[in-house]
Structure 1
Amino acid sequence: MENNITLKTINELLDSAAFFIPSYQRGYRWDRQQVLNLLDDVYDFMINREKNSSSEFYCLQPVVVRKIQEAEGTVPLYEVIDGQQRLTTIALILTYLNEDPYQLTYETRLNSNEYIWNIREDIDKENHDKNIDFYFFKQAFLTIEEWFQRPRENRRTLKQKFSIALGEEVKVIWYEVAADIEVREVFSRLNIGKIPLTNAELIKALILSKTPEKQKFELANEWDQIERSLREDKLWYFIQPLKAYTNRIEFLFDLYTENVSSRHHDPFYTFYEIQKEEDFQALWLEIKSYLARFKEWFEDRELYHLLGYLTQYKSVANYMSLYDSDSILEKEDFRRALRKEIRSEIKNISLAELSYGDRDKGKIKKVLLLFNILTTLKQKNDEARFPYDRYVKEHWSIEHIHAQNAEGLNTKEQWQAWIKDTIYTLIELNQMNEQPEYSELITALKDGIDDKNFNKDKFTELFNKTLEVTEDHFGSDVHVLENLVLLDRGTNSALSNHFYPVKYRRLKEYDKEGSFIPICTRNTFMKYYSKKVDHFQFWSDQDRNDYLAAIEETLANF
């Protein structure tokens, strides 16, 4: 038998299955809150369904089973590989509701089924203390009893309505594995490291179960090829930077079921929407067409850059809908529409008024990202591509070209390293234009290195004194766009708190070593945007103005 996957109501479980919990699983251990969560979820669903006259159902997480015995009398016996905690809790709820629960036997607790069925009579006896599972059965049952006895408007009819909802409107994802499968391997896969079943795994099993035998191998091979394609980070982070997936092919099914916004709280919404499909061959063709379209866009250099920028903020689903709309007759229409979308993202941003902070930080990052993308796009080298994979995985963030912040410098070693770099910078500045206050500051900084009682207060005093003395060279307003670039998190952390000449020297070393530096960040520190370059000792007002002008020109031309 092949693995079989479907949805089953609780009533269907009552009519068609008995369950055996093998010894390799731990016993029943759900606590009070977990039991309450299940009751509350089913109740909330029941109330909402009544109000909205909805035909939806409440879907529980998977129950993974293997048939170990054909029916003897009424129902077959299934070994529970995953889901025994939920099955046990539901059996206890059914008992409280005076419904006969399904048979549920623990290999190491042979009387567990009888205890659950007769828990009302046994609950005051001492035998539950002799069996740890029975103790937890009792605590769960008391929690259920307490929950149903709470004051409510519908308390008189609650048990009856809840019983109907639980039986007819609550479904489990029923995943029946082949009889010859190695169950301990499956159990480990599901539980070691708390790795859950994913929509992708469930959907794959479902589609294969509906596929003719001759086509199964081909479909499984195509499935693996799609997953391998999406494992190419350059393609993946171009289309999907917003959410991580264990199996990336699952994203294509989320697109199909319009579940990319995560507005559906049920983690298996995509699976049970796919389960409703009737033509799985047509479904599979559609999934393959999504990947083909993404590859086509990826290969088109201009579409790659335009669309890649937009998908950093909105799902690619928005642009698939745009591409399929009546207004798009050919690819050039699509390009124009994407350009228009980007312009609408930035047209109301005043570059000169941006200031680093919570209010403008997102806008600044949008502007700097687009500046880097457009700069890459207009390079004459037609192989040049902006690295969306690096941008996402390396967590690029905003970095000050010239910093004036001692935040994060908290140890004597950090203070001394900062002082040594600053002394080096001041000596170079003093050689360019000798100033008495620089010489005095250098002496004070050297004294700080030799001071055995040097502390945070003394460092802060020296730091502020340095800002005051160098203000004419370095300026005081550091939070404006013309003093900001993008850098990966690692390099950003290494360069934070330093003045421009220190960062310039270090970035030059990183560049020599072959480290990746964003194109506009490299251009900026190397002063390629500056119209006149006399030195690399400080980031002057003229450098700032020329850099801002370059950003404005690039965005204006676009």
Structure 2
Amino acid sequence: MMEGRSVEVVPVSQLLTRSFYIPAYQRGYRWTQDQVEDLLNDIHDFFPREVPGSEDKTWYCLQPLVVRPVDSSEIVIKDMTSNKIEYELIDGQQRATTIYLIAHYINEMFRGKIKEPELSLRYETRFSSTDFLKNLSVGTDENVAIDSSNINFYYISKAYQTIHSWVTRLNAEGRFKQDRFIDVFLNHLKVIWYQSDEADSIAIFTRINIGKIPLTNAELIKALFLKDSNFSGIKDANDIHLKQLEIANDWDRMESALQSPEFWYFLNKSEYQPETRIDLLFRLIIGRPDAKSGYSVFRIYNQNFRTDSLKDIELKWEEVKRCFRTLEEWYNDREHYHKIGFLIEAGENLDDLVRASREKKKSAFLNYLDDKIRAKLPDQLDQLEYKDQKVKLVLLLHNILSMLNNKEEGSKFPFDRYKLNGGWDVEHIHSVKDSAPDNEKARRVWLAESSECIVDNELKEEIKQSLQKKELEETIFKDLFSRIIDHLSGTGDQSDKNELSNLALLDATTNRSYKNAVFPVKRKVIIEREKAGAFVPICTKNVFMKLYSKNVSGISFWSPEDRENYFSDMVKVLAPFLSLNRESDTHE
């Protein structure tokens, strides 16, 4: 049978009326002065604002309290003096105790005969702690007696003194507004109440505290969907269970799919790492929440979840599934996959793409994607050079579209391998003369590697003799370097060294491994890297395998003809997106 879970947002005014049992496995109170003052400052500095379109106001959210109702049969821990439901406080004791201390201070210092409720805290082993809390007070000397008889009393009394010192200081500065502080504390300071009916409270505590099942936005939203009150119109308990099981199974399938690196990194930049990946769906549904709030997604979702109607719950769940289906359909469709994947990497916002897909028919949405891609590219490729910011995007799109255009090939561009590869460089295919090694050791390595590719015996012999000398003179090396570059390019002309026809996309690791090596050495390194499992983009591989070249006899050369053929392929592949018309969204 599925364990019951529910979640709600509770203002402190309601929390103060509840009773809690603190089990023995909980450590004692340990909040420091800084932690207590941080909470006081947050309350003091919070200004509730009207929520547009509702009668509500904004509120300040505390971390969740995780509780379990104490069963009446558990006589050993049943509160025999009260008819209140008692909750075992599994996680959040530090926050609950601090809330008690603030409420107690308000009653002592600001209230007359009419007091605010003070939440009931009862301890399994630290029996005297309950009375100690009730008897805390500020002395006639305007100080709290710090009790060092045990560690718990010490921290509790220090925290109470911190509250009094903080209020006294702000009063002296004329900054403390008593009524406003109390109003925010009681009505606009709220906690996320996470209730579980699981019998083993220690198991819940352990899971939360070792981080295996953190109470993330997603976990709290899941509890919103699964809570029993959603299904109050269903009389049969088995039918309720089936409904909950259906949602839980859908949830698990979506969460599992989003764990796939291929799926996830097609949709997201590598730096976007939410607490749980299913958070992405809820973020897309509600829009972009306030990133400063740890539970901002849950708060907004909870705000729109005020319903007891099973039909409304089913509609909200269908909205989640529909959002996921959109992403899944994009992933499974090769055209959507490659174009959207490129746009995400080029800086387009996923939220905007999802919104556009909802508003447009499929053909219009594909036209919309094409317009977005055109906006990322230059008008012409022949004006693009090495340091231009758009070079990397052009090279990336050439790789992506080359895979998309191969109708015989079912494989996709691996965005996960591209994004997790430690960075990418735009690299010269054929070395340039102004990139010579700058120390003798590197120069000797460069000459030795290059010598293996030289077919000119006279030049090869000069390299050999230079390497045999104790010192390699800089002038001699520069002469050899220049001649080798010319020899392996078939021309001495370096005027086109920074043009697109001499540039390729390489992962930073491969690029660093051969730096300014000559073409055949680079080719050898790339072959070895790919054999070892490294990802080499398809167009980069085609370049170094000379698959764009009509004449493959000169395997050690990257000639002007090779460049021309490579550039021609780039123009052909990218032609549909090289438009001078920069008006976006021209298609409906």
C-alpha distance in structure 2 between counterparts of 1:228 and 1:130, whole Å: 52
Shift of 1:74: 5.8
Change (3 A) 1:238 1:424: closer
Which residue of 1 is the match for residue 225 of structure 2? 207
* Residues 505, 175 of structure 1: alpha-carbon distance in 2 compared, 3 angstrom cutoff: same
Q: How has the CA–CA distance of structure 1 residues 495 and 424 changed in structure 2, closer, same or farther, with 3 Å as cutoff?
A: closer
Distance 1:18 1:366 in 2: 60
Change (3 A) 1:343 1:263: farther
Residue type at the aligned position of 1:373: I
Residue of structure 1 equivalent to 2:450: 425
Letter in 2 for 1:19: F
Residue 341 of structure 2 aligns to which amino acid in structure 1? G
**Bigger CA drift: 523-532 or 479-488?**
479-488
2:467 is matched with which residue? Answer: 442
Structure 2 counterpart of 1:111, from 110, 113, 128: 128
Give CA deviations for 1:501-550 in whole Å, capped at 9, x if unaligned. 33211222344566542101101222333565554446566655654554
User: Quick one: distance in 2 between partners of 1:334 and 1:441?
Assistant: 63
Distance 2:515 2:79 in 1: 68
Question: How far apart in 2 are the matches of 1:513 and 1:316?
Answer: 34
1:349–1:133 Cα change, 3 Å: farther
Report the Cα offset of residue 233 of structure 1.
3.3
Amino acid at match of 1:391: Y
Distance 1:497 1:155 in 2: 68
**Aligned residue number for residue 345 of structure 1:** 376
Q: State the one-letter code of the partner of 1:189.
A: R
Query: Which amino acid in structure 1 is aligned with residue 216 of structure 2?
Result: T
Aligned pairs (5 A) from 1:215-230: 215-230=243-258
- Check if 1:75 corresponds to 2:84: yes
Q: Which sits farther off after the overlay, 136-145 or 169-178?
A: 136-145
CA distance in 2, matches of 1:366, 1:552: 14
Is the alpha carbon distance of 1:49 and 1:33 closer, same or farther for their aligned partners in structure 2, counting shifts above 3 Å?
farther
Give the match's secondary structure for 1:65. strand
Equivalences for residues 26-425 of structure 1 within 5 A: 26-46=27-47, 55-68=57-70, 69=78, 72-73=81-82, 75-98=84-107, 101-121=118-138, 128-150=147-169, 155=174, 158-178=177-197, 180-193=198-211, 196-209=214-227, 210-211=230-231, 212=234, 213=240, 214-241=242-269, 243-259=272-288, 262-275=289-302, 276-277=304-305, 278=307, 279-312=312-345, 313-325=347-359, 328=360, 330-347=361-378, 352-356=383-387, 363-401=390-428, 419-420=444-445, 422-425=447-450
> 1:504–1:536: 8 Å Cα contact kept in structure 2?
no
Kindly state the Cα deviation for residue 107 of structure 1 after the two structures are TM-superposed. Answer: 4.2
The one-letter code matched in structure 2 to 1:309 is F
Aligned residue number for residue 24 of structure 2: 23
Contact kept, 8 Å, 1:23 with 1:108, in 2: the verdict is yes
Task: List per-residue Cα deviations over 1:123-142 (Å, max 9, x = no partner).
Answer: 96776223223333344334
Kindly indicate whether the alpha-carbon contact (under 8 Å) linking 1:426 and 1:438 is maintained by their aligned counterparts in 2: yes
Please give the secondary structure, in 2, of the residue aligned with 1:86: helix
Which moves more between the two structures, 497-506 or 159-168? 497-506
In 2 relative to 1, CA 287–425 (structure 1 residues): closer, same or farther, beyond 3 Å? same
Shift in CA distance, 241/265, structure 1 to aligned 2, threshold 3 Å = same
Counterpart contact for 1:21–1:104, Cα < 8 Å: yes
SS in 2 for 1:97: helix
1:525 to 513, 532, 544: 544
- The 3-state SS of whatever aligns with 2:9 is strand
Q: Which amino acid aligns with 2:11?
A: T
Distance 2:560 2:36 in 1: 65
The residue that corresponds to 1:453 in the other structure is: none
Q: Does the CA-based 8 Å contact 1:20-1:80 persist in structure 2?
A: yes
Aligned-partner Cα distance in 1 for 2:443–2:83: 79
In structure 2, distance between residues paired with 1:479 and 1:23:
71
Can you give the 5+ residue segments of structure 2 that lack an aligned partner in the other structure?
Answer: 71-77, 108-115, 235-239, 578-588
The 8 Å contact of residues 33 and 162 in structure 2, kept in 1 or not, is answered as yes
CA displacement at 1:333 relative to structure 2: 1.7
Go from structure 1 to structure 2 and tell me whether the alpha carbon gap of 1:108 and 1:425 turns closer, same or farther (over 3 Å shift).
Answer: farther
Structure 1: distance between partners of 2:369 and 2:478? 47
Mapped contact 1:437–1:469 kept (Cα < 8 A)? no
**What is the match of residue 584 of structure 2?**
none
Cα shift readout 1:120-159 (whole Å, capped 9, x = no counterpart)? 3479677622322333334433443444344589946522
- CA offset digits 1:83-142 (Å, max 9, x no partner): 122222222222333355322345454333343444334796776223223333344334
Larger Rg: 2
2:7 is matched with: 5
Question: What one-letter code is carried by the residue in structure 2 that aligns with 1:56?
Answer: T
* Residue aligning to 1:455: none
Tell me which protein shows more helix as a share of its residues: 1
The alpha carbon displacement at 1:240 in A equals 3.5
Contact 1:430/1:438 (<8 A) preserved: no
Q: In the alignment, what sits opposite 1:451?
A: none
Alignment length (residue pairs): 532
Cα pair 1:404 1:467 within 8 Å, conserved: no
Deviation of the 1:381 alpha carbon: 1.5
Contact 2:453–2:520, Cα closer than 8 Å, also in 1: no
* Matches of 1:124 and 1:373, distance apart in 2: 70
Query: How much is the aligned-residue C-alpha RMSD, in angstroms?
Result: 4.1
1:267, distance to aligned residue in structure 2 (A): 2.2
**CA contact under 8 A between 2:21 and 2:86: conserved in structure 1?**
yes
1 CA distance for matches of 2:403 and 2:193? Answer: 50
Partner Cα distance (1:30, 1:314) in 2: 44
Inter-CA distance 346–137: structure 2 relative to 1 (3 Å threshold)? farther
Q: Secondary structure at the match of 1:429?
A: coil
Q: Which moved more, 1:224-233 or 1:121-130?
A: 121-130
Unaligned runs of 5+ in 1: 449-457
Residues 283 and 540 of structure 1, relative CA distance in 2, 3 Å threshold: same
Q: 1:253 to 1:557 in 2, by over 3 A?
A: closer
**Percent identity of the aligned residues?**
34
Following superposition, the deviation at residue 22 of structure 1 comes to 2.4
1:27 and 1:339 map into 2 onto residues whose CA distance is 61
> Does the Cα contact within 8 Å between 2:146 and 2:158 map onto a contact in 1?
no
Alignment-mate amino acid for residue 66 of structure 1 = R
Q: Does 1:509 align with 2:537?
A: no
Tell me if the contact between 1:430 and 1:439 (Cα under 8 Å) persists in the aligned partners.
no
Scaled by the length of structure 2, what TM-score is found?
A: 0.77
TM-score (norm. length: structure 1): 0.81
Q: CA deviation at 1:35?
A: 2.8
Which residue identity lines up with residue 165 of structure 1 in the other structure? V
Say which is worse superposed, 144-153 or 162-171, in terms of deviation.
144-153
2:574 is matched with which residue? 555
